[in-house]
C-alpha cells in the first residue's frame, strides 16, 4: 500500500474525532452575540413566529389551583409590547464546555426569572405535574439549581435551547428532554376559558424565541 493511501484512513478518523469533540455553537441573542450565563435577558417571541401573538415570558398565578396565591406558572404576557420578566440562564453542574461563560445550544440549563416571590419559592423553571384537566405538562416555578459544584439539578428543572430556522435567522426554541433520545418542544397553550397563554410541552408549533439583553 502506498504511504499516502495508508495515511488517508487515519486522517479521516482524526477528523471525525475532532468533529465529535467540538463544542456545540453558542446560543445567540437578538444581535447575534453569544448569550452568557448569569446575565439578564428577556425571552421574546420571534417576529417570524406569526402564529404566536403576545409579549415576553413572565410569572403569573395559576388561577385554577387550590393554593393559587402561591402557585405560579410561566406565561406569555398577553400584551405584545411587554418584554416580560428578565431571566438568567445557568449551565447545569458538571457540563464540560469550552468558554464556560457562554451558553451552548442543546445543553442542559436552568432558566430562572430575576424576580422575587412573596411565597418564598424558587423562580427557577421546572416541568410541573401532569394537568389532568388540560391534559398538558406545564412549565411552573419551584425548580432547583445546583447547590454545590458537580451536583446536577433534578431532571425536571433542566431545559435545552436549540437553534431553529435558517442560518441567517437568530431563532431558537426551548425543549425538555426526559432522556437523551426523547425531547419535547415547549410551546404555548391557550386556555379556552381565560385566554391566558401558558408554557407547556407541545407536539406541534414550538414557541420560537429570541433573547434580548435586559
pLDDT, tens digit, 9 for 90 and up, residues 108-140: 999 999 987 677 789 999 999 999 999 999 999
What is the per-residue pLDDT for 9? 43
Total Cβ atoms within 10 A of residue 115: 13
**Between 154 and 179, the higher pLDDT residue:** 154
What is the per-residue pLDDT for 13? 39
CA 119 vs CA 142, 145, 213: distances in Å: 10, 18, 27
Q: What separation, in Å, do the N-terminal and C-terminal C-alpha atoms of the chain show?
A: 62
Average pLDDT score over residue span 92-103: 60
Q: In which band, very low, low, confident or very high, does the pLDDT at 87 lie, cut at 50, 70 and 90?
A: very high
> What backbone phi and psi angles, to 5 degrees, belong to 59?
-95, 140
**Between 105 and 50, the higher pLDDT residue:** 105
| pLDDT above 90 as % of the chain | 53
What is the per-residue pLDDT for 1? 46
Cα–Cα distance for residue pair 149/160, rounded to 1 Å: 20
Average pLDDT score over residue span 182-202: 93
* Torsion, CA 152, CA 145, CA 174, CA 176, rounded to 10: 50
Is a pLDDT exceeding 90 seen at residue 168?
no
Grid coordinates in use for 178?
426526559
CA 151 vs CA 105, 121, 122: distances in Å: 21, 20, 18
Domains and CATH numbers, the chain: 24-213 (2.80.10.50)
Among 19, 6, 63, CA closest to 196: 63
What is the per-residue pLDDT for 210? 94
- H or E stretch at 12: helix 3-21
Contact 91, 121 (CB under 8 A): no
Amino acid at each position: 500500500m502506498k504511504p499516502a493511501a495508508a495515511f488517508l484512513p487515519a486522517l479521516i478518523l482524526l477528523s471525525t474525532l475532532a468533529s465529535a469533540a467540538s463544542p456545540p455553537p453558542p446560543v445567540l441573542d437578538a444581535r447575534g452575540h453569544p448569550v452568557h450565563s448569569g446575565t439578564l435577558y428577556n425571552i421574546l417571541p420571534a417576529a417570524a413566529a406569526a402564529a404566536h401573538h403576545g409579549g415576553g415570558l413572565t410569572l403569573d398565578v395559576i388561577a385554577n389551583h387550590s393554593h393559587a396565591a402561591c402557585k405560579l406558572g410561566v406565561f406569555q404576557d398577553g400584551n405584545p409590547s411587554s418584554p416580560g420578566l428578565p431571566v438568567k440562564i445557568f449551565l447545569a453542574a458538571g457540563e464540560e464546555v469550552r468558554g464556560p461563560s457562554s451558553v451552548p445550544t442543546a445543553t442542559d440549563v436552568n432558566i430562572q426569572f430575576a424576580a422575587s416571590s412573596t411565597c418564598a419559592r424558587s423562580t427557577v423553571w421546572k416541568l410541573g405535574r401532569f394537568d389532568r384537566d388540560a391534559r398538558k405538562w406545564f412549565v411552573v416555578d419551584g425548580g432547583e439549581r445546583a447547590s454545590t459544584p458537580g451536583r446536577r439539578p433534578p431532571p425536571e428543572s433542566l431545559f435545552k435551547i436549540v437553534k431553529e430556522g435558517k442560518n441567517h435567522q437568530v431563532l431558537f426554541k426551548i425543549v425538555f428532554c426526559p432522556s437523551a433520545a426523547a425531547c419535547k418542544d415547549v410551546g404555548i397553550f391557550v386556555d379556552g376559558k381565560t385566554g391566558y397563554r401558558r408554557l407547556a410541552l407541545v407536539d406541534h408549533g414550538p414557541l420560537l424565541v429570541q433573547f434580548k439583553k435586559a
